[in-house]
Amino acid sequence: MVRLTVDEKEIEAEEGQNLLQVCLENGITVPHLCFLEGMENSPASCRLCFVEIEGMDCPVPSCQTVVHDGMVVNTQSPAVRHLQRSALQLLLSAHRVDCSDCPANKRCALQQLAKLLGIPLKVKHLESLAGEVDTRMGHPLLAYDAGRCVLCGRCLYACAKHQEHPLLTFVRRGFSTRVDFKGKTDPAELPCLACLACVEICPVSALGFAGKTLGAA
Amino acid sequence: MNFHPEKLPQERLAALAEDAKRRLAAKRRADLPRIIIGMATCGLAAGASETRAAFEQALAEQNLEALIIPVGCLGHCYAEPLVVIENPGFPPIAYHSVTPGKAKALVKSFLAEGDPLFEYVLAALEENDLLPSIADFPRFYLEQRVVMEKCGSIDPADLKEYLSRGGYAGLVRVLGLPPGEIVGVLSESGLRGRGGAGFPTGAKWELARKVEGSKKTVICNADEGDPGAYMDRTLLESNPHQLLEGLAICAYSVGAADAVVYVRAEYPLAVKTISRAIAQAEQANLLGKGILGANFDLEVKVFQGSGAFVCGEETALIESLEGKRGMPRFRPPYPVEHGLWGRPTVINNVKTLSTVPAIIEKGAQWFRTIGTPNSPGTAIFSVVGNVTRPGLVEIPMGTTLRTLIFEICGGIPRQKQFKAVQIGGPSGGCLPESLLDTPVDFDSLTRAGAMMGSGGLVVMDEESCMVNVARYFLDFTQNESCGKCTFCRIGTRHLLNILDRITKGEGREGDLELLETLGRDIKEGALCGLGKTAPNPILTSLKYFRSEYEAHIREKRCPSMMCRALTAYYIDPDKCARGCEACVGCCPVDAIFTAKGRKKAIDQGLCVKCGECVVSCPPEYDAVKRVSPAHLAPVVERPK
Ligand SMILES: Cc1cc2nc3c(=O)[nH]c(=O)nc-3n(C[C@H](O)[C@H](O)[C@H](O)COP(=O)(O)O)c2cc1C
């Protein structure tokens, strides 16, 4: 057991646990997208779960920080909030904000994060980079909306967990990176029909049943 | 080879070296002239193969005998194809830009008739009474060659050459020492990683040596993704065994039995050269099982990467070796604890490993006499851009940028003014004239806002637009971003778009502040070194060349007249020669027409600003002018 202080609150945790997990278990809200509870090795890619730790000169992602005894953590310092807002604004600038047409409306992770961090959904100072609706994916039954996707990778994680051979992957690079499907396209041979774990886990409804769950798309 | 098992490694190596010398002597008669041709990628690109063929043909025609010896690269790119001729009775002489025609002339005049053709000479390699020698030229005497010492003077395809020049002596020396002691020598030498970050090599090896784990791996990072950097390629192509010796010393010191050389597939000659060297070394028992009879095995493999910049980052490189998408992982854990397949892994750059044999042989103290206290040793730069003598330069750390650019590389050609130097590749910084006295070492460059990086150095003259330069580098980094983390994937795209707008005359108030705040957030928030350094070209050029940005935004003016949207061409009627048609014919879009008084004028609506008319206008008229902002060009109506 180790004892640490988070936002002036004393908490206990098991040795070797990651800080984000510990915070979440103790009811301390830390924004995050790419991390899922119980995940062994977080990709640390969404860049939202920053916290400040006494003795370190800049904020660090809590999902990749192992707790240790005597650790003093601030989850809401100005530097932390600044970076989180900046990251969320970048995500929003590349996201098609058409909430009323979106099946994720009201349960959307971006809406919740914006509320938590106190920023509007429309980012004024950045031009919108959200692409046109593009639902093409090699998968015969899934539809993917790159204009909504935040590339958190949860779907890849879920797919890897539920399928012997994961069928979802990242393709292309840089700003063109997107989620794609690798595998046989013959519906009869698709092992993933019964699963749909990826659709379920998507925080922004970028994945859905083709033609059905993607709203206007 | 039939060695006796009881022989010591040094005896075995001595036997190998003796054998190599003997066979080389048998193969190369001492009384014959030698024609030594630089045939690394740079030489080949400049036509070294054709030059070689011309030598062979001319020798046959003249019925002369001479040895043609292909070697690697001497680093003098401006002089390729570069040929050294050792003609008995003369000092060895280096010739530059040896075209097939010159090759034939050299055979006829020099080899047949004894006239060394002064007009083609670069320099003699030794002091003599006949010709100026390299000791007279700063491009040579201000350099100090430690790592590149044998580059361009040995045949990289022939292990015998490296052996006959004392190669693998460092390896033999360490085979008799406890690993801790070797790592101690490295630590004492102060060698810092040449792959960019400058991490102390001794400390890295010590961590790897101490970490538990029976299977350890050593990786040589030869991904070399920086545009304009090619020193790692040159080392692989010119002296592969030096790298293998360093790799073996590293593996022995940390207790690894596996090693990988990670080379990009775009370097086919480097891949071929290093692969052949590995096979030769295995055959000579310098690699493989029970190396030189010692209790040390090392298997070295070559892995060809597919040339993504980010795969040079050590964790992405490991992912790529494991067959996954080349995306960086969060560190810690560092590769020394958890690397390839989860094993303890040392990753070092080609230059770092290639420096090791010399340190082992000559000692830590010797190494510390070169360079500065915090950055001992030499630095290899690929100096490109607007300099008179571009190429690879190896200098002691601490040499100033001014010496490097102006004395060694001959300064800016065509009487132009120096404007800036970009150091450290796409993630480095742009430094202005006022910082030319910055010494080249890890800490000074970082303090100035640039970085050592992999040693790419681009010199820019007054005609370079700093906004456009920053845009160029951002275009590169945002393209090469792996797309994993938010800041790099989306942030760098925003930076690029803003720069794009500014260079097109669509900049707005507030853009510069946005570039700065976003740039700083990306530096702080990004996952790996690519994102963390991508804003550097913008942040440094904003710091040192802010007024150029402001001119683009406020006056729609490009001070260097490089951004096409902000410039225009016009023809000065007072200078244009009546009836001359030179520019008309070369305009690709028929934008030039005849105006009043049979003078020419440009239709601004059609002009694509290619600049062909400037080139074609006879210099004595010099009538085509370029202006910025574009509206300064007088509008001339095309007659109906
Ligand atoms: C985007 C990026 C690209 C890199 N590319 C290279 C490279 O091409 N070659 C290299 O040796 N190191 C490169 N590095 C540095 C490596 O991550 C690592 O620090 C280095 O290989 C360690 O070797 P050293 O200690 O000998 O310098 C790169 C780092 C980053 C962040």
Q: How many CB pairs under 8 A join A and B?
A: 93
3-state secondary structure of B25: helix
Check CB contact of A83 with chain B, cutoff 8 Å: yes
The 3-class SS string of B49-70 reads: HHHHHHHHHHHHHHCCCCEEEE
d(CA B254, CA B217): 9
DSSP state of A144: E
Whose alpha carbon is nearest atom 20 of ligand 1?
B195
Q: Which residues of B touch A86 (CB under 8 A)?
A: 487, 518, 521, 525
Average pLDDT over residues A108-137: 89
d(CA A148, CA A134): 10
Nearest CA-CA partner of B442 in B492, B358, B374, B519: B374
Of the pLDDT bands very low, low, confident and very high (cuts 50, 70, 90), residue A215 is very low
| DSSP string over B563-584 | -GGG-EEEE-TTTSPTT--HHH
Q: Among A58, A76, A94, which residue terminates a domain?
A: A76
Check residue B256 and give left, alpha or beta (phi > 0: left; psi -120 to 50: alpha).
beta
Q: Which residues of B touch A59 (CB under 8 A)?
A: 524
Domain-embedded: residue A6: yes
Bridge-based pairing state of the strands A178-181 and B67-71:
unpaired
Using a 10 angstrom Cβ sphere, with 0-12 exposed, 13-18 middle and 19 or more buried, the burial of residue B213 is middle
C-alpha B311 to ligand 1 mean position (Å)? 9
pLDDT along chain B (640 residues), means of 10: 69 96 92 96 96 98 96 94 96 97 97 96 94 91 95 96 96 96 98 94 97 92 91 97 98 97 96 98 97 96 93 96 94 94 97 98 98 97 95 96 96 96 90 96 92 90 96 95 97 98 97 98 96 95 97 97 96 93 94 93 95 95 96 90
- Residue spans of beta strands (DSSP E) within B125-169: none
State the best of B486, B495, B502 to mutate against chain A, taking most chain A CBs within 10 Å.
B486
Q: Please indicate whether, in this complex, the C-beta atoms of B486 and A126 are within 8 angstroms of each other.
A: no
| Cα→Cα distances B419→B399, B411, B458, Å | 20, 11, 11
Find out whether the peptide bond into B81 is cis, omega within 30 degrees of 0. Answer: yes
Q: Among A49, A76, A103, which residue terminates a domain?
A: A76
| DSSP string over A166-207 | --EEEES-GGG-EEEE-S---GGG-TTTTT-HHHHH-TT--E
Specify the pLDDT at position B307. 81
Q: Please indicate whether, in this complex, the C-beta atoms of B486 and A45 are within 8 angstroms of each other.
A: yes
| Cα→Cα distances B541→B55, B513, B564, Å | 49, 13, 20
Q: Which residues of B touch A172 (CB under 8 A)?
A: 483
**Cα dihedral B189→B192→B194→B195 (10° resolution):** 150
The 3-class SS string of B507-554 reads: CCCCHHHHHHHHHHHHHHHCCCHHHHHCCHHHHHHHHHCHHHHHHHHH
Atom of ligand 1 minimally distant from the CA of B222: 9
Q: Which residues of A touch B308 (CB under 8 A)?
A: 173
Specify the pLDDT at position A143. 86
Contact B248, B171 (CB under 8 A): yes
Interval A200-213: pLDDT, tens: 999 999 998 775 44
Domain encompassing residue A43: 2-76
Closest-CA distance of chain A to residue B493, Å: 7
**CATH assignment of the domain containing A40:** 3.10.20.740
State the best of A18, A33, A47, A177 to mutate against chain B, taking most chain B CBs within 10 Å.
A47
Domain-embedded: residue A169: yes
Nearest CA-CA partner of B86 in B71, B97, B99: B71
d(CA B360, CA B93): 32
C-alpha B350 to ligand 1 mean position (Å)? 10
Domain-embedded: residue A163: yes
Closest-CA distance of chain A to residue B147, Å: 36
Q: Among A27, A42, A76, which residue terminates a domain?
A: A76
Specify the pLDDT at position A185. 65
Q: Please indicate whether, in this complex, the C-beta atoms of B486 and A91 are within 8 angstroms of each other.
A: yes
Q: Given A44, A47, A174, which is nearest B481 (Cβ)?
A: A174
Domain-embedded: residue A168: yes
Domain-embedded: residue A35: yes
Question: Each residue of B585-622: b (16+ CB within 10 Å) or e?
Answer: eebeeebbbebeeebbbbbbeebebeebbeebbeeeee
Domain-embedded: residue A94: no
Q: Please indicate whether, in this complex, the C-beta atoms of B527 and A47 are within 8 angstroms of each other.
A: yes
Domains belonging to chain B, first-starting first, are 31-136 (3.40.30.10), 159-368 (3.40.50.11540), 378-554 (3.10.20.600), 567-631 (3.30.70.20)
How many distinct structural domains can be found in chain A?
A: 2
Tell me the CB-side half-sphere exposure of residue B304, using CA atoms within 13 A.
Answer: 11
Q: Please indicate whether, in this complex, the C-beta atoms of A46 and B486 are within 8 angstroms of each other.
A: yes
Q: Please indicate whether, in this complex, the C-beta atoms of A45 and B490 are within 8 angstroms of each other.
A: no
- Helices A78-93, B511-525: crossing angle, 10 deg rounding: 110
Q: Which residues of B touch A127 (CB under 8 A)?
A: 494, 497
Check residue B571 and give left, alpha or beta (phi > 0: left; psi -120 to 50: alpha).
beta
Sign of the C-alpha dihedral computed for residues A169, A172, A178 and A181 taken in this order = negative
Q: Given A90, A169, A170, which is nearest B490 (Cβ)?
A: A90
Give the whole-number percent of chain A exceeding pLDDT 70.
Answer: 90
Q: Please indicate whether, in this complex, the C-beta atoms of A173 and B483 are within 8 angstroms of each other.
A: yes
Specify the pLDDT at position A132. 62
pLDDT over 50 at A214, yes or no: no
Backbone φ and ψ for B391, nearest 5 degrees, come out as 145, -165
Q: Please indicate whether, in this complex, the C-beta atoms of B479 and A87 are within 8 angstroms of each other.
A: no
Specify the pLDDT at position B638. 87
* Sequence-distant (≥ 6) Cβ neighbours of residue B97 within 8 angstroms: B46, B79, B80, B81, B120
Residue with tokens 């609150």: A9
3-state secondary structure of A157: helix
Q: Which residues of B touch A42 (CB under 8 A)?
A: 330
**CATH assignment of the domain containing A163:** 3.30.70.20
Domain-embedded: residue A186: yes
